[in-house]
Amino acid sequence: MQTATTKKFMTLERFINEQERLYADATGEFSGLLHDLSLAAKLVWREVSKAGLVNIIGSTDRMNVSGDMVKKLDEFADETIYKAMDHGGHLCCMASEENEDILHIPDEYPDGKYVLLYDPLDGSSNIDANITIGSIFSIFKRVTKGRKGALEDCLQPGYKQAAAGYIIYGSSTIFVYTAGRGVHGFTLDPSVGEFLLSHENIRIPKKGKIYSMNEGNFCNWSDGMQRYVQHLKTPDKTSGRPYSLRYIGTMVGDAHRTLLYGGIFAYPGDKKNPEGKLRLMYECNPMALIIEQAGGRSSDGTKSILQVQPTSLHQHTPVFMGSEEDVTLCEEFLQGKR
C-alpha cells in the first residue's frame, strides 16, 4: 500500500492523458479541452486570490482597453474562460451565465465537436467577504452539423453530458471533474502552478447528517418542504437527528461539502419563485452529474436533474442533491408520501 510519502505525484494533465489512453477511440480532443479548462481555472484563481488587494494596490491585471478601470471579477472570469477556450479547436460554441445568447467561436479559429456551458464565478455575492466561490462547467458533444454551433447543441439533457466539473476557490483551490468514470479532485499547488491528484474516485456517503439550504425562505416553501426540514431538526438518536445546518450561499462550496461529507443540498422552488433560483444548464446539471457519478442522487422533486429536458439556456429548476438516502427521504416529503 502506498503511504502519503510514497505516493506518486499525479498532475491533472497526466491523469487526463492516462485516462484517455485507456480508450481506443479517443482522439485526444477531449484531453485538450480539459487542459485548456485547467489553464482557465489557474488564470481565474490568480485574480480571485488578489480580490482583496484591488483597493490597496490600485491595479490588477483586470484592466479595460484604456487600462484604467478594474473589471468586476465575475466579468473577468467570464472573459478569461471564453478566451482560454475559443481557439483550441475543441468547441463549436459556448454559453455562460453572464451572456444572454450562445457564444460563437471567432471565424479565424477552427471549430470542434464539443460544447461548453459555464458559470464563470458562482457565489459572486461572497467575493467581498472573502468567502468561497467557484467556477462550474458542463460539456456536451455537439449534435448539429455545419460550421457553427447552435442553440440546439447547448440544449441537451444533463444525462448526455460528456464531462462536468467545478473549480472551488476556497482555503485551497480544487479542480473536481467527471468524464463518466468516477469523480476526481486535484488540489492546486500554487508554488508550481499544477493541480495535483488529491481526491481520487470520490464517493459520497449513503446518508449524511448535514442539510444545506437557505432556510430564510422557509415561509414560502411548500408544506412538504417545511415538514421535511422540521423532521431533520427533530431529535431522534437512531436516525441521527437533529441534522446540522451548513450554508455558505455558494453552490460550489455547499455542493463540494455535501459531496465529501454527505447530507443534502437543496434550492427548492417556493411561492415567489416556483422554479427556484439555480440554473439548470451550468449550475444544476454539472453538479448533478458529479453527485450521481459519486454514488449520490439528484432530483428536481420528481425525477433526476439529469432527466430534465431543457427549453432555454438560462432556465431555473428546483434542485435537491446529495446522499442517496437523504434525497430519497426529501422526495417522499415533497410528494406527500410522508
Binding stretches for ligand AHM (CB under 6 A): 97, 119, 122-125, 214, 249-251, 267, 277
E-strand stretches of the chain: 91-96, 103-104, 114-122, 133-141, 163-169, 173-178, 183-189, 194-199, 210-212, 244-245, 264-267, 297-299, 319-322
Out of 25, 68, 100, 108, pick the active-site residue. Answer: 68
Closer to Mg ion at the Cβ: 142 or 316? 316
Out of Mg ion, ligand AHM, none, what residue 277 binds, judged by CB under 5 to 8 A for its kind, is: ligand AHM
Determine which one of 111, 194, 254, 283 is catalytic: 283
Q: Hey, what's the torsion of the CAs at 309, 313, 319, 323, to 10 degrees?
A: 80
Out of 91, 103, 117, 121, the active site residue is 121
Select from Mg ion, ligand AHM, none the partner in contact with residue 124, using the beta carbon and a kind-dependent cut-off of 5 to 8 Å.
ligand AHM
Nearer to Mg ion, 119 or 292 (CB): 119
Q: Which residue of the set 36, 47, 78, 98 is catalytic?
A: 98
List for the chain the helix, strand, coil content (%; round to 5).
35, 20, 40
* Annotation marks residue 74 as catalytic: yes
User: Given the complex with ligand AHM, which of 122 and 326 has the nearer CB atom?
Assistant: 122
Q: How far is Cα 95 from Cα 137, in angstroms, rounded to an integer?
A: 10
Give the residue among 143, 198, 162 at the shortest CA–CA distance from 34: 162
Say whether 119 is catalytic.
yes
Which residues contribute to the site for Mg ion (CB under 5 A)? 119, 122
Element (DSSP H or E) covering residue 154: helix 151-154
- β-strand partners of 119: 136
Is 47 a residue of the active site?
no
Question: Could you give the maximum distance between any two Cα atoms of the chain, in Å?
Answer: 64
Which set of grid coordinates corresponds to residue 138?
A: 458542463
Q: How far is the CB of 138 from ligand AHM (least distance, A)?
A: 14
**Residue 254 a catalytic site member:** no
Establish whether 111 is a catalytic residue.
no
As measured in angstroms, the least distance from the Cβ of 100 to ligand AHM is 15
Catalytic residue numbers read 68, 74, 97-98, 119, 121-122, 283
